[in-house]
Structure 1
């Protein structure tokens, strides 16, 4: 949102409609004519101590009216001792034209941000009508404290003040309504996912279920998938107590209980923040751009209960860097000594930098180095997350900065937006430029989100090899399947932590990689969306996937069949033809939509999450991705990662919304696999994807066992935890 000066020639009709609306009766202009409104606001325009502003929504739509004034030159001056730095404020939100939750709270934050953007302002003053209880609650949310009632010429007013510090300390998302919403949804998810992993067993009681002190309604679907209605929950609604009481049942080590509870608490706080600040409806997201959809996601990983930990982020960090905040970020750049660092790319290094931030900035960086008496030829350049620079580089690597092995330079000119993975950034100013993935020492969902420079030496070669396999396969080309290559990686290795020779979190704190953007690879008629968006429900419970199907004009079966051809068929083909497995969960896939229907997909995060499961010849630098597993484990690349990890959630949403039954959904998935077998008879018998059951691999059990590091990334298969078998929903 932004505020612009009110323009009476442009805005008068709109202004008149707002101030005379029945909802605006406290504004005192119910029966005013257009000319009366013009006179009132012309007087404000002519007053050097009073200003009127039109507030615009993010899409530029007029949304609210704000006024700011100097209390010393107002009626209030007779009622209190005006201080230097006081600023008076009025706000009027436009009458609603559609259902949108949280608008008034968002407007209040925007106006207060605007007021305090002036460094001379120390305190904001308001004087609403004492009968206006709704605005009193909104004022309290942002830090206003009532001092007393005062009699003004047209009302008895509630004289209230908000200091800069009080506003900074206000946390509007941490209020009963928002945190209650978060508790309900997290407990519902915990019951569903822990039941799915056979850690707990709710008992049926009539048309409800009971687990412990809670009762609820739920439906059960294929793959033992539970859909628990959060609004049906009765009993205690404290997610932290719910988890703590289950410590032994869940198998959480006593010494890690606090860490897991902190991730649960952070997940609750994140949900409450999104409930308060993200207002996009499913119908709006149907037509939204790529990054609006990315920021609007509220759920996180669909399987993990503690999926939004971000331990290390404070409130301001969350609002500055979390993907749902949608704030533009300028990455910091440092120079690192060539002889103490690593850079790997198929192309020229200097040309890579020039393409990423421009020749002018490259020359400026070189001039900065010369200003320190350093030779630019001895250095290369590394992007750093602003949080990482503030909290880690300047502290944990202080000696390296001091000896000029790491040289701080400047922020880059382009603005980026954080993606769902927190540490990956999309260039919003130049979308055709690469994603940048940075190291950040924040604990989230079972891992500290670092990057190892030595491990990433193989990342560009692995990506080139995988891309060549994909591009040379006629079936994958026919499906439109593509990969977004990670083309370059860089990292600093000259610190004491690397010199010890012991891998640790400290050897993963200064590195970055660059990944292709999908934007240059789509047509004008195509749109992009993270595949995670297919599992998104807005705060009113409406599913984006249901809205997409409705808007597409296709039957649900046609829409799902098109999606499965774009997503499931190429994943099956990669496995059967090349013994090549990805980690194809929602955040790792980007959908290409045409007329609101998925037509093809891009796979990303190749370097860390791809495996070759045979003895085919590989280049030496790619050998790292080879694993030796049984056919049964190979099949889990479909059964666990696709069916259980993503499609069961999608099937549950479509069934719950009465768009497509689970039985019909899984019949379509089975048809997709069988059609591939029919088209490729030589591959049909390599693995048994139609077997009646498969091993039930459990994600939450991994995190519950060790929330600090769920799996050994160098040997992920040996880390798996199984809980019996699941019935295959596409079995013959």
Structure 2
């Protein structure tokens, strides 16, 4: 039977129980944060509180949790007990979902789809249990390989749903399996496609850099055999899964008319990163990282490439890098790294594009973005890791960050002070000085280490996550209408939210938990260090005082953005013409509002 060996080895009763219990704790924590469930406080102990969630007259969940800053809760997975009719019973993540369905008003349709996403997440979690690598060893792992050990989005509970993949696809393409792949290439008529790039980069230069002479010759010969004028075709890579499951079925007419021509596989081998659709070249790490559409549903959205952003990607790169080149603070002091999306190819579908209000995933099926490799920016002795790596804990419970701090020879306080300094300065400068913000979550933000110490920051994924202020800032006056039409323009709190929620809520609150639970740093000290880093930047640039009030990280509350609620309550699995955004529900108390008074 197919995959019997994998299933016999990995999918054991012990493993299944463990991943279910850990995911159950995460679900309780995040659903409490998003105000979807309201457990009752039973008893307060010295170091934790006992809560009880009654899901029916006959069934309840009791557990220990620590109330954290930002209205968060850290639930101890080992403490969870489930009572039904007075007897303790085994629980499961899916069982909990069914139990709370009537409490939160979730539809049966949404619940059914979510059961599938959670089940596939659990399968991935079971496989990740077998990757038993200690944090001490993992801190020396290469950037591209390190991605294969990550466990997914820390906030979204169905974070590895990957709807569209079969189990065979999962084993072949999921990043945790670290299978190197080759990319398939196609020739696309220039009549149905477009090529965009930064200034001075031509399509010919790009292809000569990405493909070796043998591959170029092989592909060129195929085009000469099948077309009258090969010069009227672009060569572009596609993912094998996308080709087999989406492109053949949806671009059948173009394949029949030979405006799309299969060319075969190139020689280089690539490793998928956490997003699944972005690939690092392992044959030559200095070559570009390749971002390809994959029409699978994962963490709220289909992972395609939106046409309007694919088309504008190189110009967004020129905009972001243009700021950097003219700003000595960013360039000479922060020495921030900005791996640019320097070229793209987009292919619109001839029929779906004529369809008004078509579901967005049908307009994101075929394209490619080439991003500069992080390796081309690293200096001697530097090591790159995503911020997500800092949340890793090994099978013995040792945090990755603890191993880093130990190897650095610094105290936790010294290391975190340097971390906040390196991380916050460039993000704040782009926001305050230029009204421009990134979405600095754990995958987009790269920490560059030297001697295991925070040294520099790298920020990627401009095309999806760069946003600008709606205020009349002089620094934004020169933006073209083309850029303004694509970049999201946000009011002050909306723009501030990209850092507040994208970094503080989506990443730092989990890092704070890890440090507190490991007795490395008290939670209060952690957030005080963050506040000090913001205030230190603000003292450095007093001329921006009015903008500090506009983009205020110290106000008492922010609108609470919710990611699980979006799927479970608000949007369900309906698909409209636009990608879904985080739900807004209530307010979250801002821990930094207290530290402003202490640290000034």
TM-score by length of 2: 0.90
Mapping 1:24-103, distance limit 5 Å: none
Residues 342, 493 of structure 1: 8 Å contact kept:
no
Q: Is the 8 A contact 2:272 2:280 kept in 1?
A: yes
Q: Secondary structure at the match of 1:533?
A: helix
Residue number in structure 1 paired with 2:422: 566
Q: Secondary structure at the match of 1:587?
A: coil
- 2:311–2:346 CA contact under 8 A, matched in 1: no
Distance in 2 separating the partners of 1:431 and 1:336: 26
Query: Following superposition of structure 1 onto structure 2, how do residues 122-201 of structure 1 map, counting pairs within 5 Å?
Result: 167=4, 170-201=7-38
SS of structure 2 residue aligned to 1:607: helix
| Alignment partner, residue 275 of structure 1 | 129
User: Which residue of structure 2 lines up, in the alignment, with residue 216 of structure 1?
Assistant: 63
SS of equivalent residue, structure 2 residue 443 = helix
Native 8 Å contact 1:461 1:621 kept in 2: no
Q: State the partner residue of 2:57.
A: none
For structure 2, the residue ranges without an aligned partner over 5 or more in a row are 55-59, 83-89
Structure 1: tracts of 5 or more residues without a match = 1-163
CA contact (8 A) 2:358 2:577 kept: no
Q: By how many angstroms is 1:411 displaced?
A: 0.7
| Residue number among 173, 186, 201 corresponding to 1:334 in the alignment | 186
Inter-partner Cα distance in structure 2 for 1:692 and 1:502: 40
8 Å CA contact 2:559–2:586 kept in 1: the answer is yes
Q: Give the alignment of 1:251-266 within 5 angstroms.
A: 251-266=105-120
Task: Summarize deviations over 1:14-50 as a string: whole Å, max 9, x none.
Answer: xxxxxxxxxxxxxxxxxxxxxxxxxxxxxxxxxxxxx
After superposition, what is the alpha-carbon deviation per residue over 1:184-205, rounded to whole angstroms, capped at 9, x for unaligned? Answer: 1111001111111222222333
Question: Equivalent residue for 1:611?
Answer: 467
Deviation of 1:662 after TM superposition, in Å, equals 0.6
Q: Distance in 1 between matches of 2:3 and 2:530?
A: 55
CA shift in 2, pair 1:170/1:192, >3 Å: closer
- Taking a change above 3 Å as real, the CA distance of residues 476 and 169 of structure 1, as seen in their structure-2 partners, is closer
Determine the C-alpha separation between the residues in 2 that align with 1:527 and 1:422. 22
TM-fit CA distance, 1:502 = 5.2
Q: Output the CA distance in 1 between the equivalents of 2:493 and 2:52.
A: 36
Q: Is the 8 A contact 2:71 2:588 kept in 1?
A: no
Note if 1:316 corresponds to 2:163. Answer: no
**Structure 1 pair 389/666, CA: closer, same or farther in 2 (3 Å)?**
same
Aligned residues: 565
SS in 1 for 2:531: helix
User: Cα 1:619–1:288, aligned 2, differ >3 Å: closer, same or farther?
Assistant: same
Q: Tell me whether 1:654 sits opposite 2:511 in the alignment.
A: no
**Secondary structure at the residue paired with 1:667?**
helix
Q: Kindly tell me: are residues 533 and 382 of structure 1, through their superposed partners in 2, closer, same or farther at Cα, counting changes over 3 Å?
A: same
Show the counterpart of 2:590: 727
Pairing of 1:436-585 with structure 2 (within 5 A): 436-477=290-331, 478-500=333-355, 503-504=358-359, 505-585=361-441
Deviations 1:659-704 (A, max 9, x none): 0111111111011011011101111342322223322222222232
Matched position secondary structure for 2:542: coil
1:597 shift after superposition: 1.4
8 A contact 1:340–1:493 mirrored in 2 = yes
Instruction: Return the offset for 1:709.
Output: 6.8
* Corresponding position of 1:397: 251
Return the offset for 1:710.
8.8
TM-score normalised to structure 1 length:
0.74
Name the CA distance, whole Å, in 1 between partners of 2:492 and 2:330.
22
The reply on whether 1:672 has 2:528 as its aligned counterpart is no
Look up the SS of the partner of 2:81 in the other structure.
coil
Query: Residue 421 of structure 1 aligns to a residue in which SS?
Result: coil
Are 2:69 and 1:227 equivalent residues in the alignment?
no
Q: Verify the 8 A CA contact 1:702 1:711 in the aligned structure 2.
A: no
Deviation at 1:374, TM superposition (A): 4.0
The question of whether the paired residues in 2 share the 8 Å contact of 1:214 and 1:234 is answered with yes
- Per-residue deviation at 1:519? 0.3
Distance 1:433 1:229 in 2: 44
Distance 1:565 1:710 in 2: 41
1:251 deviation in Å? 4.3
- Contact map agreement 2:467 2:489 (CA 8 A) in 1: no
Is the 1:450–1:508 Cα contact (8 Å) retained in structure 2?
Answer: yes
Larger RCO (alpha carbons 8 Å, 6+ apart)? 2
Partner SS, residue 448 of structure 2:
strand
Alpha-carbon distance between aligned partners in 2 of 1:166 and 1:681, rounded to the nearest angstrom: 62
For the 8 Å contact 1:417–1:428, the answer to whether it is kept is yes
| Pairing of 1:584-663 with structure 2 (within 5 A) | 584-613=440-469, 614-615=471-472, 616-617=476-477, 618-663=479-524
Match of 1:703 among 549, 561, 567: 567
Name the SS for the 1:658 alignment partner. Answer: coil
- Partner residue of 2:156? 304
* Correspondences of 1:365-404 after superposition (within 5 Å): 365-404=219-258
Secondary structure, aligned partner of 1:583: coil
Deviation at 1:707, TM superposition (A): 4.7
- For 1:317 and 1:702, how far apart are their aligned partners in 2? 27
Q: Compared with structure 1, are the counterparts of its residues 251 and 573 closer, same or farther at alpha carbon in structure 2 (3 Å cutoff)? A: farther
Aligned counterparts of 1:397 and 1:622: Cα–Cα separation in 2: 29
Once the 2 structures are TM-superposed, how far is the Cα of residue 448 of structure 1 from its aligned partner?
1.1
> How many Å apart are 1:491 and its aligned residue?
2.2
Aligned counterpart, 2:86 = none
Partner SS, residue 593 of structure 1:
strand
* 1:40 alignment counterpart: none
Distance 1:418 1:224, change over 3 A: same
The superposition leaves residues 514-540 of structure 1 with CA deviations (integer Å, 9 ceiling, x where unpaired) of 111110111121111111001111233
CA distance in 1, matches of 2:242, 2:585: 36
Are 1:382 and 1:491, in contact at CA under 8 Å, matched by a contact in 2?
A: no
Which residue is 1:99 aligned to?
none
Counterparts of 1:517 and 1:542 in 2: how far apart (Å)?
30
Q: CA deviation at 1:389?
A: 1.2
**Aligned equivalents of 2:215 and 2:532: distance in 1?**
54
RMSD between superposed Cα atoms in Å: 2.1
Q: CA deviation at 1:215?
A: 2.0
